[in-house]
Structure 1
Amino acid sequence: MYNGVSVIIPTYNKKERLKYTLDSLNNQVLVDPTHIEIIIVDDGSSDGTQELINQFNFKYPVKYIYQINTGRSSARNVGIRNAEFSVLLFCDDDMLMPGNFVANHLSIQNTCRKPTLVHGEIYNLSLLKFFQDPGTGYLFDKLITHSNLEKVKEYLLVNNYEENLRIAVTQKKTTLFEKQIQEIFNKCLSSLYWLCCTGGNISCSYGSLDDLYFDEDLDKCWGCEDLELGYRLHLANYDFIYSHDAFSFHIDHYRKNYKDNLEKAFEMFYSKHKLELVKKLPKLLLGEIREIDEFIEHL
């Protein structure tokens, strides 16, 4: 029986989104408030993230750790090394979570008889991707204001947790990749379950911490350090569970050079494991392959 959860959040220059994630965690409903700790690893932010943390009125124990900018794998690993509990819950710094989010992850983990990775369903708030600040409508640099964005501003977030959940429900979408993960589990394609290891909403129980460290070599590129961990956990005989109950909302954001970075990252993934399907993963993530049957064909 696991008695608590260490929530690990790597962050880098995302304070406008991070504040909604922290607000979500402050509104978690737990039987015992000592059953959670929040570990925020600041990967060299220069946008006032530390000031946000210092001013935030946390209800639950928080560890704030600052490091020179190294990458998400490094930041998550620092969180793992500083975790008190044996259930690690990884969240991104741009998520909204309902009040039973942490409790649901812990409850599922407590039904498992062996080390298990749980992926909670992720809904995407794609309408907010244009805005550096999803609360004011301030655009990312180099994005040109478009008249259609005036209507999108109806979905901007506010300073009220319950209202933000209502807004999220009205605009939530399920990404193609999330649908493909669901299909993998619906079809019981167990050899591919590890593709659910997407770092925005996963919890892990562990037998050995050595299994759980993210590969810091992959910090040289963006885009696959979580999936690469999932593959190693698959090799280590972990169980994988897809949960609709432990869902969260991703506050989408603009990504520069997304395709190029993704392809370079998966080249590195392939060089480490020589797994043929890794060559096709960028096409799956980019929507160039839309059907799981096509993805696994000839593998």
Structure 2
Amino acid sequence: MAGDLLAAVVIPTYNRAELLRGTLDALAAQRPPDGGGFEVVVADDGSTDDTPAVVGEFTDRLRVRYGFQPDRGFRAAAARNLGARLTSAPVLVFLDAGVRPGPGFVRAHLAAQAGGTRAVAGYTYGYQPDMDTDQLDGLADDSRALAPAELVRRHGCSDELRDVRHSAFERFGFDLTTAVVPWQWFWSVNCSVLAADFWAAGGFDEDYRTWGGEDLDLGYRLHRGGTAFTVSQEAWALDTPHKRSLGDDLASNAANMGMLVDKHPEPVTELLWAFFARPGDRFVIHHDWNVEDEYRQVLEVADRTRGADVAAELAPLRCLPDDSRVVVLGCGADPPGGLAAGVRLFDFDSCFTGPASPGGRVAHGLGVRLPLADGSVDRVVITSRLSGLWERWGPHILTEARRVGARVDTVLAGNRP
């Protein structure tokens, strides 16, 4: 491949030699990008199968690098970071082993990046992580027998083959610049980002040591850093049907959503967690899952109630002893001064939280998921500022309040603090 190195396709893998072969074969058939080339970096998470030999089969067809890290359990995030460190390419394309890209895949990712977007979710046919091979009817055989382009031509419009995110993408016209939570659809199965933005955000968080969540965590940090998001239908790839540990994977994803909200506590991550991990350690998967409308409602209520004064509701808290352990949900813009050090203040309106809040002590939170241990406070006070969200989220907030507090007082229930 002549010319400058424009992109690197980073593929984490673990004991998936045959699936990896299909991915590399499809990459070897790529139409070269204009003005330069691309390389492939296989990041091996400790495989004991024929993975190195499979990579070796492609050294004369691809510009390929191989990196290895010892098997210390599931470390896909660390493997992706390893692969990213092994390349100097300005654009990083992440692709899972077993996902076979279309012939214009790399060119399409680069075109999307050249258009001013710095985080691209590639359309991935057949990627439905809550569906097993047995649920694909007759498509499983075709998926293995046909070239990706032919399979997409024949079945690309079928429900079984379309990307599980399709309805969400379609809602935004396959352009996420108007979404308030675009990062929820940024999945590492097929995505790209500028290397400079990737490292500025800190790369993948290697604390994620089981399936799911590390890509959303990266997407969240990219978004917070100002990165724009879009979808590329042209940068499409096709997932190869394979056996999944569905129960384990979904339970792992639910637990990792808890890690994500603990690392980045604020209403939008609380809402994301609520779609996967319900009180009582139950988890729910939604085919059209997204927190877009839920978070928009929170933002609308915050805007509508910005002038609501709950100081009178909280005034009795000024009489509490210094060792009181109290949480206030919906403290508003002007909580009373002189509160005991053990009183923790939360509000769902970001205008009232953070370093600029009174005393710098108001945390950004809704109360669906609090960064507190079970039974760690004596009392949770829920103010009337939550009334606009109570019909939708009241049961969740009450359940969480009862998890962390021995007593729950809420004006909404007619019980003043």
Q: Same fold (TM over 0.5)?
A: yes
Q: Show CA shifts across 1:255-289 (max 9, x none).
A: 34122111100000010000333344352782176
- Name the CA shift for 1:3/1:49 in 2 (closer, same or farther; >3 Å): closer
1:258 corresponds to: 249
- What code does the residue aligned with 2:46 have? G
**Secondary structure of the corresponding residue to residue 165 of structure 2:** helix
Q: Could you say which residue in structure 2 is the equivalent of 1:138?
A: none
SS in 1 for 2:181: helix
User: 2:286 matched to which residue of 1?
Assistant: 287
Structure 1: stretches of 5+ with no match in the other structure: 132-145
CA distance in 1, matches of 2:128, 2:187: 17
Quick one: which amino acid aligns to residue 187 of structure 2?
T
Determine whether 1:215 maps to 2:199: no
Instruction: Return the match for 2:171 from 177, 183, 202.
Output: 183
The alpha-carbon distance between structure 1 residues 4 and 130, as it changes in their structure 2 partners (threshold 3 A), is same
Range moving further from structure 2, 281-290 or 232-241: 281-290
Cα distance in structure 2, aligned partners of 1:102 and 1:174 = 20
Cα distance in 1 between the residues matched to 2:105 and 2:138: 30
How far is the alpha carbon of 1:65 from its aligned partner? 0.9
**Runs of 4+ displaced beyond 6 Å:** none
- Report the more deviating stretch, 33-42 or 283-292: 283-292
Summarize the alignment of residues 62-141 of structure 1 with structure 2, pairs less than 5 Å apart.
Answer: 62-70=64-72, 71-112=75-116, 116-124=118-126
* Contact 2:144–2:240 (Cα < 8 Å) also in 1: no
**SS of the counterpart of 1:35?**
strand
| Change beyond 3 A, Cα 1:107–1:94 | same
Deviates more, 1:221-230 or 1:55-64: 55-64
**Structure 2 Cα separation of the partners of residues 174 and 149 of structure 1:** 12
Aligned to 2:261: 270
1:192 aligns with 2:192: no
Please tell me the residue identity of whatever aligns with 2:214: E
**SS at structure 1 position matched to 2:43:** strand
Normalised by the size of structure 2, how large is the TM-score? 0.59
Secondary structure of the residue aligned to 2:62 is coil
1:30: Cα distance to partner? 1.0
Question: Which of 145, 156, 167 is equivalent to 2:151?
Answer: 167
| CA spacing shift, 1:88–1:153, aligned 2, 3 Å | closer
SS at match of 1:287: coil
- Which of the pair has the greater relative contact order for Cα pairs under 8 Å at 6+ separation? 1
Q: Which residue of 2 aligns with 1:155?
A: 142
Q: May I ask how many residue pairs the two structures share in their alignment?
A: 276
Asked if the contact 1:206–1:212 (Cα under 8 Å) also holds between the matched residues in 2, the reply is no
Q: Secondary structure at the match of 1:157?
A: helix
Report deviation, 1:212: 4.7
Cα offset for 1:188? Answer: 5.3
* TM-score normalised to structure 1 length: 0.80
Distance in 1 separating the partners of 2:37 and 2:202:
21
Structure 2 unmatched ranges of 5 or more: 277-283, 299-417
Residue 213 of structure 1 aligns with an amino acid whose one-letter code is G
Q: CA offsets, 1:44-94, max 9 Å, x none?
A: 112221222223354221101111125111001111111121111111112
Instruction: Single out whichever of 227-236 and 241-250 deviates more from structure 2.
Output: 241-250
1:223-268, Cα deviation, whole Å (9 max, x unpaired):
1100110000011111112212211112243234122111100000
Distance in 1 (CA, whole Å) between partners of 2:128 and 2:216 is 22
CA distance in 1: counterparts of 2:140 and 2:287, whole angstroms? 30
CA change 1:202–1:183 in 2 (3 A) is: same
**Partners of 2:179 and 2:292 within 8 A in 1:** no
Name which of structure 1's ranges 90-99 and 228-237 shifts more when overlaid on structure 2: 90-99
Q: Shift of the alpha carbon at 1:177?
A: 3.1
Query: Shift of residue 297 of structure 1?
Result: 5.9
Cα gap change, 1:62 to 1:183, in 2 (>3 Å): same
Maintained 8 Å contact 1:34/1:60: no
Q: Indicate the structure (1 or 2) with the bigger Cα radius of gyration.
A: 2
* SS of aligned partner of 2:193: strand
